[in-house]
Amino acid sequence: MNSITLLTQDHRNVEALFKRFEAAEDERQKRDIADKVIEQLSIHAELEEQLFYPALKAKLDDGGDVIEGIEEHHLAKVSLWELERLPVSAPNFDAKFKIMAELIRHHVEEEEGEGGIFAQARKAMKANELAALGERMEKAKATVPSRPHPLAPPVPPFNSILGLPVAVLDKVVNAGKGVVQGALRRVS
């Protein structure tokens, strides 16, 4: 699968989760959906920052819209980090989720829109380069951080160097969180 198709598919998956959240009435459902969004967007942002953006930037004289994309990712990571720590029962949980979703929708619109970063990539990169990059990104999904780290460096080589150890820690935290949530569900 080429890199643009992979990233676009991620966008559609997250949009479907946004719609599920908007329709959810139960706090547990909202928390579960929010956690999935946080995980999927964290992985997506890392794939773009570690692989897609550097590959595109290397092909463009001025870097295109890569810097703006990285800045939008930073705002999204801050929002996701806050949402991850906010109890679903907090009065501002739904509002924070809504604002994060609006930020992501704006980012997606800019990436996919006419003249956006995906159009820039199609113009600057050959089909076989996009396909090879997509394969690398698909493989990297298992080894990039799955939680938001807004203070981590967003550009190579630092994000790649820190990526794997942070991803391992994220998996440990996610596993522990799953055990605790499972126990709480059995008790309630």
Instruction: Give me the domains of the chain, ranges plus CATH numbers.
Output: 3-187 (1.20.120)
Residue 9: predicted pLDDT: 99
Q: Which two tokens stand for residue 135?
A: 């394969």
* More confident call, 15 vs 145: 15
Cα separation, 165 vs 187, in Å, equals 34
21 vs 24: CA distance, rounded Å: 5
- Percentage of the chain beyond pLDDT 90 is 71
Model confidence pLDDT, tens digit, residues 123-179: 999 999 999 999 999 999 998 888 876 656 555 554 554 544 555 456 656 666 665
Q: Is the dihedral of CA 79, 33, 85, 49 positive or negative?
A: negative
- State yes or no: pLDDT of 94 exceeds 50: yes
The pLDDT of residue 173:
65
Counting Cβ atoms within 10 Å, is residue 87 exposed (0-12), middle (13-18) or buried (19+)? exposed
Predicted confidence at residue 175, as pLDDT, reads: 65
pLDDT tens column, 106-118:
999 999 999 999 9
Instruction: Please give the residue that has the higher pLDDT: either 177 or 4.
Output: 4
Count other C-beta atoms under 10 Å from residue 101's C-beta: 19
62-90 confidence digits (pLDDT tens): 877 898 999 999 999 999 999 999 999 99
Round to whole Å and give the CA distance between 56 and 186.
48
Cα separation of 64 and 168, whole Å? Answer: 32
Given a cut of 80, is residue 180 above it in pLDDT?
no
Q: Tell me, yes or no, if the pTM score tops 0.85.
A: no
Average pLDDT over residues 44-51: 94
Pairwise pLDDT comparison (184 vs 41), residue with the higher score? 41
Q: Count how many Cα atoms sit within 13 Å of the Cα of residue 26 in the half-sphere of its side chain.
A: 4
**Distance between CA atoms of residues 87 and 167, nearest Å:** 24
Q: How many residues does the chain have?
A: 188
Contact 51, 148 (CB under 8 A): no
Q: CB count, 10 Å around CB of 107?
A: 22
183 — pLDDT class (breaks 50, 70, 90):
low
Cα dihedral sign, 76-52-170-108: positive
On the CB side of 181, CA atoms within 13 Å amount to 11
pLDDT at residue number 61: 82
Write down the pLDDT at residue 164: 47
